[in-house]
Amino acid sequence: MSTNSAFLKEMGITEWISRDSASEAVQATVAVEVSSHQPVVAEPKERPAGGTWWFFGNKPQGDADALFQNIIRVLGLTPQEWSWKNPAEKINLEELPRNGSPIVALAFGGVAAQKLSGECDALPELRETVLAMQADGVEELPLIATFELNQLIASPKHRALFWQDLLLAKSVLQNS
């Protein structure tokens, strides 16, 4: 059993194989573990589906930042494929990719998800669905609500659920 498989098993995550095509049948793994201030990282196994990821919430610091950098690395995102945004600021059309690239937004925490979607439900009710985020002049950018990074560090039991949220966001990009 590989180290990545061991991490996934410990997190309660079953490894999966993409069924999109035989050429894309690559195992996807993630180990976003932070302990003793030394993150353990799984290297990306495949490139993202093409698109732009917008991350919203409190800007990560310390262990949360290390965890976030591991997430970026596991997703295989380049600096041009993602950006961190403040949920209090309005999104404007100039920020949209000019190449028609699809966008998915990931809201870290219930407060960020509520602010961006206009929903009133708590995080457990907002998760596992594709919410609609409003931006000036653009309707229904897909928004996925997930846990705050500090929650993932404090409660490892949420990591498997977080992985599901990442897979949902990835599927939104693949189907855009």
pLDDT at 174: 87
Quote the DSSP letter at residue 14.
-
pLDDT at 139: 57
Q: How far apart are CA 49 and CA 170, in angstroms?
A: 7
pLDDT at 34: 38
For residue 155, count other CB atoms closer than 10 A to its CB: 11
Q: Mean pLDDT per segment of 10 residues, for the chain of length 176 residues?
A: 57 50 34 40 46 91 94 92 86 64 92 92 94 72 94 92 95 87
The tokens describing 144, both together, are 């996925």
pLDDT at 2: 58
Q: How far apart are CA 28 and CA 4, in angstroms?
A: 10
pLDDT at 98: 58
Q: How far apart are CA 112 and CA 114, in angstroms?
A: 5
- Residue (of 90, 105, 89) closest to 55 by Cα position: 105
pLDDT at 8: 55
- Residue (of 126, 106, 116) closest to 166 by Cα position: 106
Q: Which domains does the chain have, with CATH numbers?
A: 45-174 (3.40.470.10)
Angle, alpha carbons 151-64-119 (nearest 5°): 50
The amino acid at 37? H
